[in-house]
Amino acid sequence: MNALEQLKTLSVVVADTGDLDAIRKYQPQDCTTNPSLILKAAELPAYAEALRKAQQLGDVEAAIDGLTVGIGTELTRIVPGYVSTEVDARLSFDADAMIAKARHLIALYGEQGVGRERILIKLATTWEGVQAARVLEAEGIRCNLTLVFSLEQAIAAAQAGAYLISPFVGRITDWYKKSTGTADYPVETDPGVQSVRTIYSHFKAHGYPTVVMGASFRSAAQVRALAGCDRLTVSPALLGELAADQTPLEAALTPVAATRHEATLSEADFRWALASNPMANDKLAEGIRGFHADTEKLRKLIGQLEPAAAG
């Protein structure tokens, strides 16, 4: 077996893309999207009709939601598992607004014949995002808490009952390279890899059922270093690199029996932990800004289309 085939025996492989051709080629279990990926997907010929239908809704906000759900619906027809759909990053500090948007997206999926059991609603792991997840999970809407850069973010999400968290490997490594002036890290000391390993071990030791899905990879070596993690969401470029690799791949992470319990993390403790962690604080804010910027680009793209051109 090639490295990708071996990886699929150790972790659930998720495609970090909206590219239908790439998904068909590498056959992941799930796929994830975010505003950046939706923007890229909207420019692909395969989604031209979805873009036109969205624009015909007349209202830009409705068009963005329609396009997001339209792309997600197409993805559910290809992958057998979950499709992650992200709530507008501008809402990341308003729990009620995130809850309302999540319910709206699930309703739109329902109109397309896609049940909530196929969708993970992605929320930024702010304190407000964690509280929104608590409410949504109680309603049977499963959540993917994204932009996780610290153990405390991960713990708060798990204690809220989030189905899945997405700790970001590459963005953590990027921050440390820039802040320390280190050109590169050996994989065994890579800060991004170490962060996910710490979260995974902590979750297993404390019996949290929340799925840990490593994300934001910069290299196939980082992916290999997390083989055995519950899920790994990987870009088409790295999926292709793994598919072309015939070298053996072994589990780097293995679950352990739960032996510990910890107190519930308070809001004050969560906020202080973020404030005390320059990397996590910087990257969370940067990630929210970046997703918002790409949503604005998508808003502009939709606004540039004339109704007549939409057919």
- CATH number for 50: 3.20.20.70
Would residue 234 count as lying in a domain? yes
**191-206 and 169-180 helices, crossing angle to 10°:** 130
Is the pLDDT at 1 greater than 90? The verdict is yes
CA 168, 121, 117 angle in degrees (round to 5)? 120
Helix (H), strand (E) at residue 120: strand 119-124
Residue-wise pLDDT for 210-246, tens only, equals: 999 999 999 999 999 999 999 999 999 999 999 999 9
Q: Give a yes or no: residue 142 inside a domain.
A: yes
Domain annotation covers residue 311: no
Q: How far apart are CA 29 and CA 26, in angstroms?
A: 10
Task: With respect to residue 309, please indicate whether it lies within any of the assigned structural domains.
Answer: no
User: Which DSSP state fits 168?
Assistant: B
**Tens-place pLDDT, residues 29-70:** 999 999 999 999 888 888 988 888 888 887 889 999 999 999
Choose the weakest-confidence range: 38-47, 94-103, 114-123, 163-172: 38-47
Residue 178 lies in a domain: yes
Q: Total domain count for the chain?
A: 1
Residue 150 within any structural domain of the chain: yes
**Least confident stretch, 31-40, 142-151, 171-180, 201-210:** 31-40
Express each pLDDT in 56-108 by its tens digit. 887 889 999 999 999 999 999 999 999 999 999 999 999 999 999 999 999 99
**Catalytic annotation, residues:** 122
- CA dist 118 and 248 (Å) reads 33
**Does residue 305 register a pLDDT over 80?**
no
- Tell me the pLDDT tens digit for each residue of 264-288: 999 999 999 999 999 999 999 999 9
Task: Give Cβ neighbours of residue 89 (< 8 Å, ≥ 6 apart).
Answer: 35, 124, 288, 289, 291, 292, 295
pLDDT for 118: 98
Q: Is there a domain that residue 45 lies in? A: yes
Residue 216: its pLDDT value, please?
A: 97
Residue 205 sits in which domain range? 3-304
Prediction pTM value: 0.95
- Give the strand pairing for 83-86 and 119-124: parallel
